Amino acid sequence: AMNLLLFKVPSLVIINHELPLMNGLQLIEAMKKGNTILKIPVIIIGSNIPNEIVQLYHQSGVDLVFQKPVEPDSLKDVIKSIV
For position 23, what pLDDT does the model report?
Answer: 86
- How many degrees, rounded to 5, is the angle at CA 65 between CA 53 and CA 48? 55
For position 66, what pLDDT does the model report?
Answer: 93
Q: Render each residue's pLDDT in the chain as its tens digit; 83 residues.
A: 666 666 777 888 899 998 888 888 888 888 777 665 567 889 999 999 999 999 999 998 899 999 999 999 999 999 999 88
DSSP type of residue 38: T
For position 1, what pLDDT does the model report?
Answer: 60
For position 65, what pLDDT does the model report?
Answer: 95
Which strands make up the sheet holding 13-16, listed edge to edge? 13-16, 42-46, 64-67
For position 9, what pLDDT does the model report?
Answer: 75
Closest to 16 in 3D by CA, of 60, 55, 70: 70
Q: Is 63 helix (H, G, I), strand (E, B) or coil?
A: coil
